[in-house]
């Protein structure tokens, strides 16, 4: 039997990084599915890529600059209109700092 | 029947006063009401707004001053293109109630051209999928066989175009999400060069791959829509300032002497024999029109899919970090603190496929794995690009199948990897950022559409469209229509 590509504890670690709460059943299914996909991705290992430059973008572009001039932007009230819990001109969130 | 007409024919009737934009909008809205209960292409129908926009277009034609070739033309958009004041869900529960405060640049350009928006179209959640079964709301059906999928992720856009529920639609293509559903639904679907169309207001999936493009009844109509939406945009720094030619005019002139490359690697093991036969017959049609087909090799094709399933999820995991229950969209309250709120909101708001890709992407970018996965995939991407560059030193356009098979039945593909394999012939084009189109190229004996894919050099949509137009003129596949009017079985 081949070594699994990803363990249950790695799934739990990645889920924490991704801010995704997973049920116990989800974790095992996710581990199995990621294992299959990662095994397929491993076909890339057969390919010699030493000395090949990486491509991050299909169209070669260097930094695109513009003048730093103020322009009208979307009004604050419009930007707050979709907020689940707006408060005045703020987005309200649950407590961050422990008491 | 106004809903059968191409954009060109409909616009001609408007100009001659034989029909009005209001009549066209009403005809499409009536058809949507009668038939979309069976196809399920629309997530939102903007009836009142459409009739209002159409009435304004009526006045412009009465005054003899239409705004553009699309003035008064009824269109619809994939529901990941932001529309001001109109709910934009991205096919996800997490954005179920999101109402954008601004228009995507493509929407703004279509409005400025006078086009009439009929509504927003269903899609796989966050454009992740190849069947539209991953929509959080409902699956869309293939108009040719309601038991089958329309493809994806722009399944609603393809089905609406094929079923004449809009004169043209827009979709987006990250790994084949325009071309594959166009092939499955027997319609024209064009993915422009990366950077040709502004992505401002497109809800991002994989930013280095995403590109917006049209679905239409004919190649000429797709060319007209592209002409309106293409061009540099100060709001998208990856849009490229290359002049926008008159794509409609560029269709004429034929393809005598055009060098057409046939990539051997696109006729893979496991390809549906009927697809292979149809595409080979299509290549003979091109030869008959004076084109010069020749064999070419794209040796890294088989690695494209694996590279894509590192790069696209990696970019997605980063792009989707913004859905955190704070600024917009769903929030699941409760939990001890902010971090727990994030985790619960995302668990409830994202579907299974989105979670899978966010996990895959986060893993590929995490400490210790970055070089082995993301770095490797980016190097493979270079090799895939080089394959195309070398081929285009010898030929002007590539011809190949769009997909290895035809539309499958709902629920048939349960293994994620089997679903991913659908895009094996479309993904390399995204990795290289090239333009590609799928045009109707025949039907299986069971009556399912087959697509011919034509691929061109970067920013050479004109040649791709000219070849597609010549092929379309020489065949009548695009004239066949699905029958939806019959009573349900």
How close B459 gets to chain A, by Cα (Å)? 10
The pLDDT of residue B376 is 96
Say how many C-beta atoms besides its own lie within 10 A of residue B55's C-beta: 15
Residue at A39 is within a domain: yes
| Structural element, H or E, at residue B287 | helix B273-288
Q: Which one of A20, A41, A49 has the shortest CB-CB distance to B355?
A: A20
- Test B363 with A22 for CB contact under 8 angstroms: no
Residue at A66 is within a domain: no
Residue carrying the six token digits 């859905």: B323
CATH of the domain at A24: 1.10.20.60
The pLDDT of residue B487 is 53
Token pair recorded at residue A18: 């991704």
- State yes or no: pLDDT of B488 exceeds 70: no
- Test A19 with B343 for CB contact under 8 angstroms: yes
- Test B303 with A43 for CB contact under 8 angstroms: yes
- State yes or no: pLDDT of A49 exceeds 70: yes
Phi, psi of B279 (to 5 degrees): -70, -40
Tens digit of each residue's pLDDT (9 = 90 or more) over B71-110: 999 999 999 999 999 999 999 999 999 999 999 999 999 9
SS3 state of residue A44: helix
Residue at B392 is within a domain: no
Interface of A with B in 30-89 (CB under 8 A): 30, 33-34, 36-38, 40-45, 47, 49, 52-59, 61, 64, 66, 74, 78-79, 81-85
Strand duo A90-91 + A86-87: pairing: antiparallel
- State yes or no: pLDDT of B112 exceeds 50: yes
Domains identified in chain A, total number = 1
Band the pLDDT of B486: cuts 50, 70, 90. low
The pLDDT of residue B418 is 86
Q: Which one of B208, B303, B434 has the shortest CB-CB distance to A56?
A: B208
Residue at B335 is within a domain: no
Least Cα distance to B143 among B157, B121, B167, B163 occurs for B163
The pLDDT of residue A99 is 62
The pLDDT of residue A1 is 47
How close A96 gets to chain B, by Cα (Å)? 6
Domains identified in chain B, total number = 1
Residue at B134 is within a domain: yes
- State yes or no: pLDDT of B195 exceeds 60: yes
pTM of the model: 0.97
- State yes or no: pLDDT of B35 exceeds 70: yes
CB B406 within 8 A of CB B437: no
Residue at A90 is within a domain: no
Contacts of B486 (CB under 8 A, 6+ apart): none
Segment among A31-40, B294-303, B417-426 with least mean pLDDT: B417-426
The pLDDT of residue B255 is 98
Q: Could you list the active site residues of B?
A: 78, 153, 177
Q: Which residues in chain B have Cβ-Cβ distances shorter than 8 Å to A21? A: 340, 343-344, 346-347
The pLDDT of residue B419 is 86
CATH of the domain at B102: 3.90.1300.10
Sign of CA dihedral B424, B429, B430, B435: negative
CB B55 within 8 A of CB B22: yes
Q: How far is CA B36 from CA A71, B31, B121, B358, in A?
A: 42, 8, 11, 32
The pLDDT of residue B465 is 98
Least Cα distance to B356 among A38, A67, A59, A74 occurs for A38
Q: Which residues in chain A have Cβ-Cβ distances shorter than 8 Å to B194? A: 57-59
Question: b/e per residue, B272-296, with b = 16+ CB within 10 A?
Answer: bebbbebbeebbeebeebebebeeb
Mean pLDDT of the region B394-400: 98
Residue at B329 is within a domain: no
Q: Which range marks the domain in which residue B102 is found?
A: 2-257
ipTM of the complex: 0.94
Mean pLDDT of the region B298-322: 97
Q: Which one of B102, B307, B430 has the shortest CB-CB distance to A74?
A: B102
Question: In chain B, what percentage of residues exceed pLDDT 90?
Answer: 95
What CA dihedral angle connects A77, A79, A82 and A86, to 10 degrees? Answer: -60
CA distance A31 to B352: 13
Q: Which range marks the domain in which residue A7 is found?
A: 1-47
Residue at B229 is within a domain: yes
Terminal Cα-to-Cα distance of chain B (whole angstroms): 25
The pLDDT of residue B394 is 98
Mean pLDDT of the region B403-414: 95
Q: Over chain B, what is the mean pLDDT? A: 96
Residue at B486 is within a domain: no
Q: Which residues in chain B have Cβ-Cβ distances shorter than 8 Å to A91? A: 326-327
The pLDDT of residue A41 is 95
Segment among A87-96, B209-218, B454-463 with least mean pLDDT: A87-96
Residue at B208 is within a domain: yes
Strand duo B188-191 + B436-443: pairing: antiparallel
Strand duo B397-401 + B42-45: pairing: unpaired
Residue at B402 is within a domain: no
């Amino acid at each position: 039997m081949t070594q699994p590509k990803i363990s249950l504890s790695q799934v739990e670690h990645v889920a924490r990084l991704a801010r995704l709460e997973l049920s116990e059943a989800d974790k095992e299914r996710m581990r199995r599915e990621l294992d299959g996909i990662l095994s397929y991705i491993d076909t890339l290992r057969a390919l010699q890529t030493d000395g090949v430059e990486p491509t991050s973008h299909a169209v070669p572009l260097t930094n695109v600059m513009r003048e730093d001039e103020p322009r009208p932007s979307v009004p604050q009230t419009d930007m707050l209109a979709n907020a689940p819990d707006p408060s005045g001109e703020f987005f309200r969130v649950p407590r961050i700092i422990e008491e | 029947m106004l809903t059968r007409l191409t954009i060109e024919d409909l616009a001609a009737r408007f100009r001659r006063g034989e029909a009005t934009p209001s009549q066209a909008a009403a005809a499409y809205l009536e058809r949507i009401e009668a038939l979309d209960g069976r196809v399920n292409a629309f997530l939102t129908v903007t009836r009142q707004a459409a009739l209002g926009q159409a009435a304004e277009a009526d006045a412009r034609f009465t005054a003899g001053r239409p705004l553009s070739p699309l003035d008064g033309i009824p269109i619809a958009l994939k529901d990941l293109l932001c529309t001001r004041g109109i709910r934009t869900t991205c096919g996800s529960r997490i954005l179920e109630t999101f109402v954008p405060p601004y228009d995507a640049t493509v929407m703004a350009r279509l409005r400025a051209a006078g086009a009439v928006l009929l509504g927003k179209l269903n899609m796989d959640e966050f454009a992740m999928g190849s069947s539209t079964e991953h929509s959080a709301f409902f699956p869309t059906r293939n108009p040719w066989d309601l038991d089958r999928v329309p493809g994806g992720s722009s399944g609603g856009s393809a089905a609406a175009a094929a079923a004449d529920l809009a004169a043209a639609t827009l979709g987006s293509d990250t790994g084949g999400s325009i071309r594959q559903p166009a092939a499955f639904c027997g319609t024209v679907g064009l993915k422009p060069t990366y950077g040709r169309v502004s992505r401002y207001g497109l809800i991002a999936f994989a930013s280095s791959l995403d590109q917006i493009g049209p679905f239409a009844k004919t190649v000429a109509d797709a060319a007209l829509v592209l002409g309106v939406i293409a061009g540099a945009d100060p709001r998208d720094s990856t849009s490229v300032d290359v002049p926008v030619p008159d794509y409609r005019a560029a269709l004429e002139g034929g393809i005598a002497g055009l060098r057409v490359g046939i990539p051997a690697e696109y006729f893979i093991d496991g390809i549906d024999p009927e697809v292979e036969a149809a595409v080979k017959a299509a290549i003979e049609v091109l030869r008959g029109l004076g084109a010069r087909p020749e064999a070419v090799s794209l040796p890294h094709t088989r690695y494209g899919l694996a590279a894509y399933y590192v790069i696209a999820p990696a970019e997605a995991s980063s792009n989707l970090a913004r859905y955190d229950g704070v600024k917009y969209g769903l929030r699941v309250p409760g939990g001890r603190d902010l971090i727990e709120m994030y985790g619960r909101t995302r668990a409830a708001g994202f579907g299974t496929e989105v979670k899978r890709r966010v996990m895959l992407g986060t893993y590929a970018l995490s400490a210790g794995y970055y070089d082995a996965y993301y770095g490797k995939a980016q190097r493979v991407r270079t090799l895939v690009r080089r394959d195309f560059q070398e081929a285009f030193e010898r030929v002007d356009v590539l011809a190949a199948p769009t997909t290895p098979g035809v539309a499958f039945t709902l629920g048939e593909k349960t293994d994620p990897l089997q679903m991913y394999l659908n895009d094996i012939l479309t993904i390399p084009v995204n990795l290289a950022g090239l333009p590609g189109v799928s045009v109707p190229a025949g039907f299986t004996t069971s009556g399912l559409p087959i697509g011919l894919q034509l691929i061109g050099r970067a920013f050479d949509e004109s040649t791709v469209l000219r070849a597609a137009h010549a092929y379309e003129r020489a065949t009548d596949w695009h004239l066949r229509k699905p029958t939806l009017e019959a009573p349900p079985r």
